Structure 1
């Protein structure tokens, strides 16, 4: 893993101080000091109480009224720079002739200007860049530390990933371009040109990317992107949406082993007999044996035992970590 960071120097800020919760608790795993940050992690991305989990690159506002209003490169040039994406990575284009491109660690020190509505604006610094080793096949995943100055919090520096007050640089986001994720139904919303999703470390969307199932990921080690059905099966699996209705059945820090049909993600150790949790498809769990939260889980549907079913019948198999 490589990482690059910038000194934080944010000033001339204006902003609002609302206390709305944009909790996507079912689409993330909360931060736990005993759990690696990309396995557990932080809350959903927001600034000053407004969600930035989904953003448009064309300047239009998201559902919470937040828009990307501009981009300033590290040295403060004002020559028409614009923020965009290449695959699932951020890039910025502009410069004197409009032909310069910044990507990767070159973006550190840049500022994204957010329009919060009602004449309020907030600069967010790209304070760090790292390349996180993929959990499956493919190249490392680009991740960015995004930090702003919270005037309502006595001028404290905050990450856009909530819950990181002590060290805002610890939290990073991955970018999933051209796709959104419905928090209520736990479904993939594909073909969203101009949109990006910011997945904080530990969130379901970040795990989706690290597993190789992002919109531009490598699901088989040969550069093939997962289909929408494969990505949705992954989202259902991560959130334990057994019935496929959007109701999650998982809590922070629950250990789990997973294995995909392509063989690019495999359990760290051979799962013991009787540990199979479920086989997963885009509709949810095809069958269920050993719920990750134990036998007290109450479902809104009836699922058969996995019996003679195998991983070949779905996209994922998951295994509970037994005591």
Structure 2
């Protein structure tokens, strides 16, 4: 082969390499947004290595705060806070939308009937919304019936990351749950942690968030106990799990902090014997809880002074007198606008009393 032929062959190979690199949306640079059809074809494809995210404290939705890992984001922000059941952005031809049946999604056909056996759910793309109100698409990539509850289904979801031009799992990964799934829950939670029942809207609650933890602890909002809905107990639990004393969406705890809870409906009872997971001798009463935050406190979970809580939500609590709830549970401060009977559950945690 002559030198000229070798030069031409090398030039052709290099040109094809550059063209392939320019056409790869993952190669960085100013890649244009992927067209709708091609973008949907790229959903639910496993990738390696996965992006790693460090624990961000106790989460409500269990989702990332922002797609930009280097950006400082408020703990009350999220890349995904809600999704619409219909119309769907992408679905099988016979699927009109989705509906919630307890703890699982059901595809609704164009004729209005539900499709049996979970058909039509996996592969659907829903229109979602981020914490800042911007639209975001959510793809359902897998469905796994819960081993502990046949009526509950775990979903593997991905959302479209417009920053990276990729489909990514919006759920925060932790060491104990490195590839988190999500539950579909009726209702929408705002930045303050308050729940609104918005018709046609649901929340994908990730495994490492308080919404899902409270369900796994027994407070399934779609179920009833002694004729009473567990929705209010579930909401009170989300405040307790995050130590959201003021009911403003701000947590006062650390990741993986041990707690013990007990409620007035008897779903969970107070732990009276020590085990490898819980030391009764170290535990003491912390607070009582309603759906909108603590009704009274004995101390804080993370050790900060009670004054800091009073300053965070001025006028909400009073420290005029000690409130005795019985069974050794005594509060140092109490809500001024609620009676003690409004508390749905109480909790203990480790730590000594912190006076005013």
Which one of 240, 259, 262 corresponds to residue 259 of structure 1?
Answer: 262
Written as runs of structure 1 = structure 2, the 5 A alignment for 1:185-224 is 186-190=193-197, 192-218=198-224, 220=225, 222=226, 224=228
Instruction: State TM-score, norm by structure 2.
Output: 0.59
Q: Which has the higher helix share?
A: 2
Instruction: State TM-score, norm by structure 1.
Output: 0.64
What's the counterpart of residue 35 of structure 1? none
Unaligned runs of 5+ in 1: 1-10, 16-24, 30-40, 60-67, 73-77
Change in CA separation of 1:159 and 1:249 when aligned onto 2, cut-off 3 Å: same
Q: How far apart in 2 are the matches of 1:51 and 1:195? A: 16
The higher-RCO structure (CA 8 Å, 6+ apart) is 1
Change in CA separation of 1:205 and 1:103 when aligned onto 2, cut-off 3 Å: farther
Task: Provide, for residues 237-289 of structure 1, a one-character-per-residue CA deviation record: whole Å limited to 9, x for no partner.
Answer: 22212233443212222111111111111345544486000111234222212
Distance apart, 1:153 and its partner CA: 5.5
Q: Is the 8 A contact 1:256 1:319 kept in 2?
A: yes
Which one of 57, 81, 89 corresponds to residue 85 of structure 2?
Answer: 57
Q: Find the residue that maps to 1:253 and give its secondary structure.
A: coil
Distance apart, 1:114 and its partner CA: 4.3
Unaligned runs of 5+ in 2: 1-36, 43-55, 70-77, 130-134, 274-279, 330-339
Change in CA separation of 1:99 and 1:225 when aligned onto 2, cut-off 3 Å: same
Distance apart, 1:89 and its partner CA: 1.7
Q: Is the 8 A contact 1:45 1:199 kept in 2?
A: no
Q: Which has the higher strand share?
A: 1
Question: Is 2:173 aligned against 1:173?
Answer: no
Question: Is 2:157 aligned against 1:146?
Answer: yes
Q: Find the residue that maps to 2:239 and give its secondary structure.
A: helix
Q: Find the residue that maps to 2:325 and give its secondary structure.
A: coil
Q: Find the residue that maps to 1:254 and give its secondary structure.
A: coil
Tell me the matched-pair count.
264
Which one of 162, 165, 171 corresponds to residue 161 of structure 1?
Answer: 171
Q: How far apart in 1 are the matches of 2:246 and 2:190? A: 16
Question: Is 2:257 aligned against 1:226?
Answer: no
Q: Find the residue that maps to 2:238 and give its secondary structure.
A: helix
For the aligned residues, what is the CA RMSD?
4.3
Change in CA separation of 1:276 and 1:112 when aligned onto 2, cut-off 3 Å: same
Question: Is 2:90 aligned against 1:70?
Answer: yes
